Amino acid sequence: MDSKIISGFDLSGKITALTKDKNSFVISDSNVAITYGSLFSDAAHYIIPAGEGSKNLEYYGKAARAMLEAGCNRSSTVIAVGGGVVGDLAGFTAATYMRGVRWINVPTTLLAQVDSSVGGKTAVDLGDYKNILGAFHMPAEVLISTHFLYTLPEREWICGVGEIVKTAFLSKKVHSLLDGSLDNLLERDDAVVSECVKECIAYKREVVSRDFYESGPRKALNLGHTVGHALEKVDNHKLSHGEYVLMGLRAEAFILRDQLPSGRYEEINAWAERCRVTVPDFDPESVAKACMKDKKNGGGRISVMLADYENTREVRLTYEEMVRGLMLWKLSL
């Protein structure tokens, strides 16, 4: 169970050919449509407002309705052209429209290319809680066209860097690549960007091949996401997802610092700080309460990941332990 990955600097010709197919239906967002709308102007399509606020049941319903009105059937192919929000919503729409249709992912952001486009996770948010309604539905193809990356605003770039830094503490190979070249990645060095995209995809594909439904090794990919998602909720999504992941990495490493290998917390903290992400003011109890709603939890405890490369493992914390850990982390900032 895997997607066909097609990568290159500029795959515009192939993307346009796919969208012109009479069985195709494109889902994209308002930002992508302004810059790259010519890629799918001749196709049946639905455009959502850009941003996390559109990844919900309202726009999922509107996308499905647009497909129905366009005459889409079980032979149709949904093509997602956009970042993580577009991929999540389009993939979930494809997974559920007429009980499931084929889909293709064309990720246009760094975060989507190195992480969310690979692995078949699709979802929409339920109110302020992220990815509560979803499905595992692997795209038939993922087209990685790196030319999209050079029009990204700085915040979207840092968003993707956050997921790459996370991966570096799961994969020794990615860590070795990024160690000494993090600044080059932040400066969008072509060679470093290409290698990071390639290695992050390779790492995630290998993990997903062993655990598609996230019952074991795939849980490691949630590193930094429990506290990251909670901060994202209580901060009302003011920053990008990857920025909150960087905060979550720092917070979870701080809380579990006595269980980490020597120097690991300091390294995680230093790398995250180099990404120039400022932690907003937060109430530890509010963040801990949001953590309690995380879908990865079990037994009334909060699931967090202990960062140790290929030996990364799950740790379960009580609500009280999370509150105390967040309070101490906040004082340390």
pLDDT in tens, 257-270: 999 999 999 999 99
Question: Which 3 state secondary structure label does DSSP give 49?
Answer: coil
E strand spans, the chain: 4-8, 24-29, 44-48, 77-82, 102-107, 121-126, 129-136, 141-145, 302-306, 313-317
DSSP state string for 153-221: -HHHHHHHHHHHHHHHTT-HHHHHHHTTTHHHHHTT-HHHHHHHHHHHHHHHHHHHHH-TTSSSGGGGG
Which whole number is the average pLDDT over 70-89?
98
- Taking domain 4-150, whether its CATH number is 3.40.50.1970 is answered by yes
**Nearest Cα residue to 123 out of 207, 225, 21, 33:** 225
CATH number of 154-332: 1.20.1090.10
Question: Which 3 state secondary structure label does DSSP give 8?
Answer: strand
Which whole number is the average pLDDT over 66-85?
98
Range from 128-132, 259-263, 282-286 carrying the lowest mean pLDDT = 128-132
Q: Which two tokens stand for residue 61?
A: 């319903």
Contact between 241 and 84 under an 8 Å Cβ cutoff? The reply is: yes
Q: Which of 241, 243, 250, 264 is catalytic?
A: 241
Residue for token digits 């600044």? 183
Distance CA 275, CA 71 (A): 46
Distance CA 7, CA 2 (A): 15
Residue 305 pLDDT grade (very low, low, confident, very high; cuts 50, 70, 90): very high
Q: Give the pLDDT confidence of 291-303 residue by residue, as tens digits.
A: 999 999 999 999 9
Q: Which of 45, 55, 166, 204 is catalytic?
A: 204
The answer to whether residue 190 scores a pLDDT higher than 90 is: yes
Return phi, psi of residue 297, to 5°: -70, 165
Told to judge if 237 belongs to the known catalytic residues of this protein, a careful annotator would answer: no
Q: Which of 99, 210, 238, 320 is catalytic?
A: 99
Contact between 93 and 135 under an 8 Å Cβ cutoff? The reply is: no
Mean pLDDT, the chain, integer: 96
Told to judge if 99 belongs to the known catalytic residues of this protein, a careful annotator would answer: yes
Which residues of the chain are in CATH 3.40.50.1970 domains?
A: 4-150
Q: Which of 121, 130, 137, 166 is catalytic?
A: 121
Q: Which of 45, 105, 131, 163 is catalytic?
A: 163
Q: Which of 130, 225, 233, 250 is catalytic?
A: 225
Residue 128 pLDDT grade (very low, low, confident, very high; cuts 50, 70, 90): confident
Told to judge if 121 belongs to the known catalytic residues of this protein, a careful annotator would answer: yes
Residues shown for the chain: 333
Told to judge if 229 belongs to the known catalytic residues of this protein, a careful annotator would answer: yes
Distance CA 141, CA 60 (A): 21
**Burial classification of residue 215, based on how many CB atoms lie within 10 Å of its CB (0-12 exposed, 13-18 middle, 19 or more buried):** exposed
Query: pTM to 2 decimals?
Result: 0.95
Distance CA 104, CA 91 (A): 8
Which residues of the chain are in CATH 1.20.1090.10 domains?
A: 154-332
Told to judge if 204 belongs to the known catalytic residues of this protein, a careful annotator would answer: yes
Q: Which of 156, 199, 214, 232 is catalytic?
A: 214
Told to judge if 241 belongs to the known catalytic residues of this protein, a careful annotator would answer: yes
CA angle 88, 94, 97 (to 5 degrees): 130
Told to judge if 156 belongs to the known catalytic residues of this protein, a careful annotator would answer: no
Q: Which two tokens stand for residue 264?
A: 């690991």
The answer to whether residue 320 scores a pLDDT higher than 90 is: yes
Q: Which of 130, 218, 233, 264 is catalytic?
A: 218
Distance CA 150, CA 153 (A): 9
Q: Give the pLDDT confidence of 191-223 residue by residue, as tens digits.
A: 999 999 999 999 999 999 999 999 999 999 999
The answer to whether residue 1 scores a pLDDT higher than 70 is: no
Q: Which of 137, 156, 222, 232 is catalytic?
A: 222
